[in-house]
Amino acid sequence: MLAAPKVPLINPTSLARFVDPLPIPSVARAAEQRADPANPGHTLPCYRIEMRACKVRLHRDIPTTPVWGYNGQFPGPSIEARRGEPLLVEWVNALPSQHFLPIDHTLHGAERDKPDVRAITHVHGARVPAKADGFPDDWYTPGHSVLYRYPNGQDAATLWYHDHAMGITRLNIYAGLFGAYIVRDAEEQALHLPSGDYDMPLILCDRLVAQDGQLYYPVSDDPHAPWVMQCLGNLVLCNGKVFPYLDVEPRRYRFRLINVANTRFFDLSLSHDQAMQQIASDQGLLPAPLERARIELYPAERADVVIDFAGFAGKSVQLRHESQGIVEFRVRAQSSRDMSALPATLRPVTRIDPAAAARERILTLNEIDDANGNAMQMLLDGKRWSDPITENPRQNSIETWSFVNLTGDAHPIHVHLVRFQVIDRRPFDLFAWNAHRKLEFTGPAVPPEPQELGWKDTVRADSGMVTRIAMRFDGEPGRYVWHCHFLEHEDNEMMRPFQVLPAHS
């Protein structure tokens, strides 16, 4: 059971639609050049990004809302990187000493002896050495900072950064600690996709907002164990606004859709039955544009789309979640000449041959009742965060991981460091599994959906199915994590460390 909020929540139907312009996150600027820790005698651009408390207006008619934001912005500034050009970020924790959201001290890593306010930033989808990946236990308190080096040795893609502090990630991201991290490269640039003012992130999430403007994070009615297994908001936010509008020209735009919600999955479509051309998924360009009437995004997933407003001069088009308009594009009568292109092919994606895998891991997703209460826990392969590491791939080796989902729900599973491919999903017999831990398939393997034929870093693992992915661990040896990206699950044991072992020499 959920406890009722003290102040009633806003009824979304009472809000005026499309009265606030869509904010476009500012682009972070390097504060200085600093010595490159990996390359003596060289310097790199260094960004200084400070987490701090701030107040924002989610909508013209909602009182101001206290949030936490990178550089005091909600979402944080976008970091723009180029492939092969490393950069440094000094992530500064300048948050207050008290949390404004309810901490559950019964969760692992959030015990009473831990400070309430802790933070550590992870760039989701970045291939970085372990020491700059933002390991959840490496959190630090207000007044401290870390200096991370991002090599950007990866294809152009829409990544995002967010907090990853052990046991309170769901609260810190809910508070506002997220932003876009965009990698560009020459190959993508040569395609002449819409760029500059015609290329922007649309960062989507939902929040429970009370009538006084405060964020409400749901708690159970058990004061000793306030954790809840999901958090769904009453309002949908795009770039930090509820029901924003954007003036656009009658031409092509590239929008980078990023789902940063705790639990909500978005089911996106355009009004007028207008299709979108999906050009990229989590880890960059698809082999070819894909015409889509609907795009579903689970938490942490991304989709880059090209929308052509050319036929809509003087009209408006809405981006909808389910049947509800969440953003309005107001198309002007005139446009500057559209020099952009939407080529028929984008970037080839060489398929990984699962037969080349050095190792195949069978990993369950399961739910258990906590031994000392009624609260539920979600586990990966029946193990807890603190259990010894079991996933220890060799650097540069290929592995397949099969997620055997024993729960009643789909879970978005994310693996740090690597990009992967979805091989297939296949239904299996749950009773046979429970009886003798053997996989007995009950139907043919289902190939990945067309939009899953690019590189991914987060995959929907469906209930009753074995979802198989393949990846090459081409990163530095060290300790990383994999987890469910429903933040409530991730904070309650549905996260595991893994260790990349040095390649055989």
- What's the closest the beta carbon of residue 418 comes to Cu ion, in angstroms? 10
CA distance 149 to 131: 9
In angstroms, the Cα distances linking 294 to 93, 250, 278, 319, 322 are 39, 22, 10, 10, 9
Please state the φ and ψ torsions of residue 162, each to the nearest 5 degrees.
Answer: -165, 165
Which of 292, 416, 468, 489 touches ligand C2O by CB under 6 A? 416
> Quick one: 170 or 414, whose CB is closer to ligand C2O?
414
- Residue 171: in which H helix or E strand, if any? helix 169-175
| Cross-strand partners of 87 | 150
**Which window, 140-148, 149-157, 323-331, 478-486, contacts ligand C2O (CB under 6 A)?**
478-486
Should residue 416 be labelled a site residue for Cu ion when binding is judged by CB under 5 A? yes
- Looking up tokens 């060489």, which residue turns up? 350
Beta carbons within 10 angstroms of residue 397's beta carbon: 18
Using CB under 6 A as the binding rule, whether residue 164 contacts ligand C2O is answered as yes
Out of 460, 483, 489, 496, the residue judged to bind ligand C2O by CB under 6 A = 483
Nearer to ligand C2O, 414 or 472 (CB): 414
Amino acid identity of residue 195, one-letter, is S
489 part of the interface to Cu ion, by CB under 5 A = yes
Cis amide linkage into residue 75, ω under 30° from 0: yes
Find the shortest distance in angstroms from Cβ 414 to ligand C2O.
5
Per CB under 6 A, 124 contacts ligand C2O? yes
CB 280 within 8 A of CB 96: no
386-392 long-range contacts (CB < 8 A, ≥24 apart) are: 386/108, 387/496, 389/479, 389/496, 389/497, 389/498, 389/499, 390/496, 391/361, 391/363, 391/482, 391/496, 391/498, 391/499, 392/498, 392/499, 392/500, 392/501
Q: Which helix (H) or strand (E) holds 209?
A: strand 199-209
- Work out whether 481 is an interface residue with ligand C2O (CB under 6 A): yes
Tokens of 494: 């549905």
Q: Is 71 in a helix, a strand, or coil?
A: coil
Q: Which stretch binds ligand C2O (CB under 6 A): 69-77, 81-89, 400-408, 477-485?
A: 477-485
Buried b (16+ CB within 10 A) or exposed e, 121-147: bbbbbbbbbbebbbbbebbbebeebbe
Token readout for 488 is 């409530």
- Binding segment for ligand C2O among 34-42, 393-401, 403-411, 480-488 (CB under 6 A)? 480-488
**Tokens 């990349």, residue located:** 500
Chain positions 252 to 311 lying near ligand C2O, rule: CB under 6 A, are 300
496 touching ligand C2O, by CB under 6 A: no
Q: Which residue is nearest to ligand C2O (CB)?
A: 124
- Considering beta carbons, is residue 56 or 494 the nearer one to Cu ion? 494
264 contributes a contact to Cu ion by CB under 5 A = no
Does residue 122 touch ligand C2O according to CB under 6 A? Answer: yes
Closest CA to 174 of 67, 321, 317, 16: 67
Query: Which of 331/413 has CB closer to ligand C2O?
Result: 413
- Residue 449: partners with Cβ closer than 8 Å, 6 or more residues away: none
Member of 170, 414, 472, 489 binding ligand C2O (CB under 6 A): 414
Binding of Cu ion by 237 (CB under 5 A):
no
Site string for ligand C2O, 45-64 (x = CB under 6 A): --------------------
Is 259 within 8 Å of 204 (Cβ atoms)?
Answer: yes
Choice from 79, 484, 495, 500 touching Cu ion (CB under 5 A): 484
Choosing among ligand C2O, Cu ion, none, which partner's interface includes residue 486 (Cβ < 5 to 8 Å by kind)?
Cu ion
Closer of 164 and 252 to ligand C2O (Cβ): 164
How many of the chain's residues bind Cu ion (CB under 5 A)? Answer: 7
Q: Say how many C-beta atoms besides its own lie within 10 A of residue 440's C-beta.
A: 12
Q: How far is the CB of 470 from ligand C2O (least distance, A)?
A: 20
Minimum distance, C-beta of residue 501 to Cu ion, in the bound complex (Å) = 20
User: Is 251 a binder of Cu ion (CB under 5 A)?
Assistant: no
Residue 489 contact, options ligand C2O, Cu ion, none, Cβ 5-8 Å cut-off depending on partner type:
Cu ion
Least distance to ligand C2O, CB of residue 298, Å: 12
Binding site for ligand C2O (CB under 6 A): 122, 124, 162, 164, 300, 414, 416, 481, 483, 485
Q: Which residues bind Cu ion (CB under 5 A)?
A: 124, 411, 416, 484, 486, 489, 494
